[in-house]
Structure formats: structure tokens, C-alpha cells
Chains A and B, each alone.
Chain A
Amino acid sequence: MKILAVDHTRCTGCRLCEIACSLHHDGVANPAAARLAIVRWEEEGLHVPAVCQQCDVAMCELVCQPHAIRRNPATAALVVNYELCIGCRMCVIGCPYGAMSVHPLGRPVLKCNLCDGEPRCVQFCETGALQYLEPQAVSFAKRSATARKLIGGES
């Protein structure tokens, strides 16, 4: 079961992920309708992707009274069923990371569904700030860098 892994130090702020996401889901290039967001501090040169973590204990799922948010067993993604969604936006409030948002024009709430296992944002990330990895690979790069430092090499 792969995980959407974020390394914000590699993010250049190009926002192709946001455009690819909205275009794939809605047919419109519109970051405001993307299921993830790049939070940007222009002056400090910082760009931090804010993406859904598909939490094991998911607040969005827990607060949803009509049970419109369910886990897809194939991807482990929590997916909004818009047929059941009543647009109360409690999930948006409940998410501790701000990873869910309100759609500016169409659907009531926006949530990443990992594109059914082929996340478009990752396909458009040239630097690897976003990757779709097996769990054991998520921290391997950092681990080996740390290990190299410990034995006195260049990280």
C-alpha cells in the first residue's frame, strides 16, 4: 500500500501538481480546486506541499455524519462519496492538517483520493518533492544520508 510522501525541501513552487490535479478531476486548470496546495512564502523562498495524509485514524471520516467518506481498500485512500455528502464541511473543519478544502465553484468539499492509485501530482513533480512510495522507502533516503554522516562521509 503506497504512501504519498512529501519532501518540501525539493519543492520549487511550480504548481504543476495543483494544475494536474484540478485538470484531472475537473477538466479545468484551477489550483483553487486542486486536492492539494503548495503553501508559499515568496520572500523566504519556501514552498510546502500540503497534502492529505490518508490518516489511519481519520478525523474527516469520523466527523462525517452521513458516512460519505470511506476508505478505498485498494489504495487505502479515504474517498468522498458525493452522492452521500451533504456539504456540511465538518470534514474540512475536522482535518488537523488543513488538507481538505472547499471547492470554489462545484463540489462542496475537496479531498485527495490518490487518483485511484496513480496520483497525477506525482507524475508532474520533476524534483521528487512528491513521490508515491512503498512505506519502507519513505524514510530510506533520509536514513542513508544520516548514516553517511555518522560514518564521516558527505551526506
Chain B
Amino acid sequence: MRSCGWAGTILRVDLSSGAIERQPLEAGFARAFLGGQGFAEKLIFDACDFSERDPFSAKNVLCVAPGALSGTLTPGSGRLTVAVGLSPSLGGYLDANAGGGFASELKWANYDAIVITGQAPHPVYLRIADDQVELRDARQLWGKRVRECDHLLQHEVALTQYARLIIGPAGENRVHGSMPTCDLFRAPSAGSTGAVFGAKNLKAIVVKGTRGVPVARPAEAFAAFRAVYEKNRAEARFKRFGEQGTKWLVELSGTLTCQYNMQVRDFPYEHLSIERFRKEFASGSKACHACFQHCDHHWQINSGDFSGEQGSGGEAGTIIPLGPMCGVSDYATILHLTNLVNDLGLDSITAGCAVATAMHWWQEGLLTAADTGGLRLEWGDAQAEEQLILQIAERRGFGAVLAEGTFAAAGELARRRGLELARLTSLIRSNKKRREVPADFRPLKGMAFSRALDIRECDVLNTDTLMAEGNVDYERYRHIGVPEPVARQWADSYICNPMVFDDKSLAKFYSDNHLSVCNSLGICQRFTTWAQMRMGLEDIARCFSAVTGIDVTWEDLHQAGDRIRQLEQAMQLLHGFRKADDYFPDAYYNSPVTQGRFEGAELDRGEYTTELENLYRLRGWDKDGRPTAAHLHQAGLDDVAAKLRAVELLAP
């Protein structure tokens, strides 16, 4: 009998031998880990050799997993998880996330996850058409950018309207920040998963599904959908995101970003206003699968150097790093660069941060024309930015140095020029896990806390705007779908006061669980509580129950979220991360913002530590962030506890 909601099959591909296996999905596994992020984590945990430190080893595990509710009627259920056992740029487990249509298509082809191991003897791509799964020669596609590769694929895959993940030159060249591009414009951007595709000689995955997903109780699914639809559409924010996407945040976040040197400068943010984008560039709204909020745009450039160019995307998280952080304020140029990074298969945040860092080094005299082969990296020079991005993706010139990431580049420069390493690294903005942080969150305590801790950053499933909300009362919490007892607890707390550190651990605890649920069910965070929309865990539980036929409460999902976070922490520990990595670099603490709207704002290390240890306590971990056997047992993770015990990483 087929399950409802889930497809019932996990696909395993060994690129070394070419073996393709289908493994039935176990009911207990599905209920415990839900799908998407949860599935990817557990499948990778079971298959990962934590002693292997080479991310390009054939042993590294790659997993592509749609959410449990992807491909169904659940609002905004088009999210896809792309995960690796060992991320080349972060040195640990990483799951990235993308929208678009790939997740649902894979579900309609009847797969809950693809687990990819080994290394193909030459470039291949994976073609999936329902139960026909084959590896095909991709030698003729190697070296091609994403769009050109897609054109060539269209001629040979003999599929209509398929979905695809394609790496560009950046992934092939194993570049820091590379990613497979999803349906040309969507980005599972975090953690350099593209480089793992490249190392495995896997150029693309194309999928077409015609089997569909059975829904246990269609009438209930329709009703659950309708409830969210009516609630969310009535919100002012819905209209704003629907018309403006995240682009309205660009001007707003001008107070948090700058020319990358942690100080607010004069930058003509009005050039990047949403009004201007809509008037000059937008040609229509675009949506991911099953999303009625359609926050993406298709756009066209109608004059100037890039006249005639068109594309999609351009989230705030793309525009800010490629534009303001590098001092570039021409909208058309930034859109052109957006297309370029998508086409190269390069994450815009990583690329923008790399260029901005190099510009900053240049400005400080730490980098000269002798190091860059004559490329002058002045702030605001868009042509230099474009050249450097191309060099990074193709590993040419100074780009070859940056292709290893900014920290590696700092090391190389320090070695070459006899500079003090700390002088170079102090200008890199990232958290201790070496994830770039493209804004200065010192003024906003909740966001700073989450940015410091996150292994993944800046996709729309990791927003936590609620923590920057200001004063929120019980009625408002209920309004945005916070379950009753939780809303009561929050109403007596400082969760939403962005200016103080108090209770940010509580906020992080709830938001992480909530996000893990969203990531695992494939639901876009933008519909939900933490983005101040009204789809709460109770709504999500209703959708889940109607689709799968398994009745769950919001508490069940909340606990599943915790289970997924326990597993994530276990993997972080097994990969060598410790408490010290749960901080920002030292320069971030006890150094106040010296100008602008938030002058005087600072992060206090003592307060930070208090909240960090509170978060550990809420998770049932000890003071050093190590899980306890009891808590893991309660979460049904005895096998995880055993693995931690074997290397003495379990709390005593």
C-alpha cells in the first residue's frame, strides 16, 4: 500500500559503480524525521564517515530531499533540501535550501530523497523520469554555464517541462561558495554543495514526475489550505511581499550594511528602492511551487550597457552583497551580476562578501596590484567586481586565491606578503563557523544571536524577523499562530525586544524547532509565524495530518524539530565544532557601533554567553553544548548517543 504525502522510496546512487538502488521508506523513520532537512540529516548521519576530512573524497555523501509535504496542496511547500556530509567551506554537515519546482517534481516522480555517494569516472548527469533512473554522459556539458547547459539538456533529455539542478563552472572548479542552480534562478546557496557535485563529476540532476502524491484526506487538505490562504492574504505584509518580494528590505537594511567595514557610510540606498525596481525592471511576479505569495520577480533591463538582459531573482540577500557591500549602487549592474552568479553557479552572498573583503584589503593597503595581476579593486568599481567574480569561478588570477574562501585567501596573502594574519581576518565578516554574515547585526540582539549560531544563513527559511519586531503582546502572538501556552509564555518575555539580549535563547529554541519543521516539510518560512505571517505550527499540523493521514499536534512537530536539532548538534560535534565556535569573532564583542542610527549599540560577551548557555539548557545539553544520553533517548536517538559516547562527546 502506498503512503500518503510521502512517496515511499529513497533513491541511492553510487557514482563510482553506477549502481542505482531503491530503498523503501520506513514508516518509523518518516515519522521521526519528517522529510527534507530531517531526512537528509539522518541519511547522511548513517552514511557519513566522520573521520574523513576531505570534502572531495568519494566518500562524501550528498543528499537531495524534498519536504514531506512538497508536491501537495500545502501552502508554500516547494522547498528543497540539498545537503552534504562534509561541506568544503564550513567543515561540517550542511543543508542548504532552495525554492522553485524541483522538490515537487521529485515527489511526483515518487522519491523522498536521493542519496549520492562515490565519484563518477567522467562527468555525468542523473536523469529521472518516474521509475526510469539513469546516469548519462555529461562530458559535452562540462565547462558550460548553467543556462547554456540547460539549453543543451533540453535537446537531449526528451522530457517536457522538467525540473533541474545544474552546477556551473564554479562547482566544477570546486570553488568556495559554489552551488547547483535550481531551475536557473533558485539557489540552495549555503555551504559550497556545488563543489561536492563537481568533485563527484555530477553536472546536473533533471527530473520529471507524473505519478503524483496521494493525499489521505483531500477535503481536509483543501480546508487547511483555505484557512491559511484567507488569514495570510488579509495581512498587510502579504501584499508587501507579494508585490515587492524581499527587495523592499534593501533600503531598510541600509542601516545594517555598508562598505563591509562594520561602519555605516553614506551610500545612496535610494537608488535601490523597491519603487524604482518595480518601475524600471520588474516584468511580472513569480512563485515557487504551491506558493500564492509569489515574492519573486522576473525582470528585464531596458536601457544602458545591459539592455535586453532578463532574469529572475534578486533577493535582498543577493542585491546587498553584490551591490552596497561592494559600493555598487547601479541597479541594472547589480541585476546583471545576479544573473552572472546564478549562471556560474556561485552563491551571491559568498561571492559578494569575497569581493567586498578583497576591496577592503585593497583599501587598507593589504592587497596591491602586484597581488591581483593589475586588477584595481576600488570600492564601487562594478567592472572590477565582475572581473573578480569571473576569476573566482574560473580560478584565474587573484580569483584562484579567493576561490578557496576568504580565510584561506587571508592565509595565502599573509604568507606571500609577510603580513599579520589577524589584520587580514579582522576585516572578514563571518561567524566563527566561517559563514559569511552580510550585515552588521550588533544593534539587533536576536538576529545577531541567530547569525552567530547558524550553520546556514540567509535563505528565506532562516529569517527570524520576529526577533527584531519590538513589543509584541499576547494577542499579536496568537494572531500570528503561536500556540496558546507558548504565546502566554512569550508575552511575559523579551523575545521580541531586539535591543536586549534577555530571552533570545528562548526565541532561538522555538524558532529553530519551527524552522526545522518547515525545512523538513518543505514549507517556506515566509508563510509562517517567524516571518510574521499567520501559518503557525497548528496550521502546519493540520496540513500534515490531512496530507499524510497521520494525526499530529503542534507539540509533536515541535518535538520533531527538537529531534532534528539534536542530530544537527551531534554532527557538529562529531565534525569537531565546539562551544567556542558558537560565537562571533572577537572583534564583534564589546565594540560599539560608532556612527549612524544605531550609534553606541554593542554586543556584550557576558550577556551573550549567558544566553548561549541558556539555549544549551533548553536543548538538554551541558554547559559545553554536549547532549545527554537521557535527552537523546527521549528523542529516539539512541544510535546518535552511541556514536557520541564512542568519541567521548556525550555529556557526563
A residues adjacent to B (C-beta < 8 A): 9, 12-16, 19-20, 22-24, 26-33, 39-40, 42-45, 104-105, 124, 126-127
Contacts and interface: CB of A to CB of B under 8 A. Distances in A.
B211 A43 contact: no
A99 B400 CA distance: 52
B294 interface: yes
Given A23-B73, A104-B211, A13 B218 contact: no
B73 A16 contact: yes
A13 B293 CA distance: 11
Given A12-B287, A19-B72, A30-B108, A127 B214 contact: no
B211 A29 contact: no
Interface string B274-302: 00000000011111111111100011000
A28 B213 contact: yes
Given A31-B108, A32-B212, A126-B294, A23 B222 contact: yes
A29 B104 CA distance: 10
Contact of A12 (B150, B209, B225, B284): B284
Given A16-B73, A23-B73, A42-B183, A29 B212 contact: yes
Interface of B: 71-73, 101, 104, 108, 147, 150, 161, 183-185, 209-215, 218, 221-222, 225, 229, 233, 242, 283-294, 298-299, 310-312
A23 B209 contact: no
13 contacts: A13-B287, A16-B290, A16-B292, A19-B72, A20-B73, A27-B215, A28-B212, A32-B209, A33-B212, A43-B310, A45-B310, A104-B210, A126-B293
A3 B210 CA distance: 29
Given A12-B285, A16-B73, A42 B213 contact: no
B292 A28 contact: no
Given A15-B101, A27-B215, A43 B184 contact: yes
A26 B229 CA distance: 22
A23 B290 contact: no
Contacts of B287: 12-14
Contacts of A9: 284
Contacts of A31: 108, 212
A6 B288 CA distance: 20
Contact of A19 (B183, B290, B294, B312): B290
Contacts of B288: 14
Contacts of B312: 42, 45
A15 B183 contact: no
A20 B229 CA distance: 14
B73 to A, nearest CB: 5
A126 B291 CA distance: 9
Contacts of A29: 71-73, 108, 212-215
A124 B292 CA distance: 8
Top 4 A-B residue pairs of the complex, sorted by shortest distance between their CB atoms = A30-B212, A45-B298, A32-B210, A14-B287
B241 to A, nearest CB: 12
B310 A27 contact: no
A70 B212 CA distance: 29
Contacts of B212: 22, 26, 28-33, 105
A27 B312 CA distance: 33
Given A15-B101, A19-B72, A126 B108 contact: no
Contacts of B310: 43-45
B526 to A, nearest CB: 13
A24 B218 contact: yes
B291 A14 contact: yes
Given A42-B183, A45-B299, A105-B210, 7 more contacts: A23-B221, A45-B284, A45-B298, A45-B311, A104-B211, A124-B292, A126-B292
Contacts of B211: 30, 32, 104-105
A22 B284 CA distance: 27
Contacts of B147: 43
A27 B290 contact: no
Contacts of A30: 108, 210-213
Contacts of A45: 283-284, 286, 298-299, 310-312
B485 to A, nearest CB: 33
Contacts of B286: 12-13, 45
A12 B76 CA distance: 13
A14 B73 contact: no
Contacts of B289: 14-15
B214 A27 contact: yes
A45 B289 CA distance: 14
B294 A127 contact: yes
Contact of B185 (A15, A27, A42): A42
B289 to A, nearest CB: 6
A27 B218 contact: yes
B73 A32 contact: no
Nearest to B290: A16
Contacts of A127: 285, 294
B116 to A, nearest CB: 24
